[in-house]
Structures are given as C-alpha cells and as structure tokens.
C-alpha cells in the first residue's frame, strides 16, 4: 500500500506543478504536507465503507424482524391435546453409532408440558 501511495504522490506532484505554473516552494511543501496528512484517512476509507455497508444491512434485518407481524395462534378448536408424538425402535446420533434410545412406543407429550431428557 505504501508503494501505491508513493506512486500516486510521484505522479500527482509533477502534474500539480504543470497545472499550477506559479507553484513556489511554500505551496509545494504545503501540498506535500497535506497529502501526507490525508494518507492515513484515505487508506482507511475502503474498510470504513465495508463496515458501514455491513451495519446498514444488519440494521435492515433487525428492522424487518421488528416490523414482521406476529404469527397467528391456532384456535383452541384446531389444537390437539398432543404436541409431540413419537414412536421409534432405535435412536442414535450416527448411522452406525450406539443406540441412545431403545424401544420407544407411543411417546406423547401434551401441549404446554415441560420435558427434561438426560
């Protein structure tokens, strides 16, 4: 990045001297000092643009989440008494792994109940 700045500076200063024919030493060194002071802010500008874009997208997602409507609850007439029904012979976490649960027949968990599995 330093090489790029040096290249830009070496291309910019002679072109400035050609454009501004009355460029004396004071103006030249003032311009050089100004370019040196602007070097760090201009180098951080691309990362700042990326961060601002990410923040804008994140706030847009949060806004969409807050503006989304609330899901309609199912009427009590349409609800069944069972929230979860499960029937399994062998349950494991991998295809050839050890069975964690064996012989579960007609496990029913009622609506609104709390289940703790150890």
Each of the 118 residues of the chain gets a pLDDT tens digit; together they read 566 667 667 766 666 665 565 667 887 788 788 888 888 888 888 899 999 999 999 999 999 888 877 766 555 555 567 777 777 777 777 778 787 777 777 778 787 777 777 6
16 in Cβ contact with 23 (< 8 Å): yes
pLDDT for the residue numbered 31: 77
The confidence score (pLDDT) of residue 23 equals 65
Residue 115 has what DSSP assignment?
-
Assign 3-state DSSP to the chain and report helix, strand, coil percentages, each to 5. 50, 15, 30
Which residues are CB-neighbours of 21 under 8 A, at least 6 positions away?
A: none
Pairing state of beta strands 82-91 and 101-110?
A: antiparallel
Q: Which two tokens stand for residue 23?
A: 């460029």
- What is the spatial distance between Cα 64 and Cα 56, in angstroms, rounded to a whole number? 12
Strand spans (E) along 20-81: none
Which pair of tokens denotes residue 31? Answer: 């311009």
pTM above 0.75, yes or no: no
pLDDT at 94: 77
Q: In the chain, what's the furthest Cα-to-Cα distance?
A: 95
pLDDT for position 60 = 93
> For residue 11, what pLDDT is reported?
67
């Amino acid at each position: 990045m330093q090489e790029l700045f040096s290249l830009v500076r070496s291309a910019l200063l002679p072109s400035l001297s050609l454009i501004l024919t009355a460029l004396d030493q004071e103006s030249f060194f003032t311009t050089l000092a100004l370019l040196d002071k602007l070097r760090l802010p201009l180098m951080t500008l691309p990362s700042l643009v990326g961060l601002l874009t990410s923040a804008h997208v994140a706030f847009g997602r949060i806004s969409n989440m807050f503006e989304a409507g609330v899901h309609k609850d199912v009427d009590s007439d349409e609800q069944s008494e069972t929230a979860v029904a499960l029937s399994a012979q062998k349950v494991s976490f991998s295809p050839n792994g050890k069975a964690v649960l064996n012989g579960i027949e007609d496990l029913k968990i009622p609506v609104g109940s709390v289940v703790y599995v150890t």
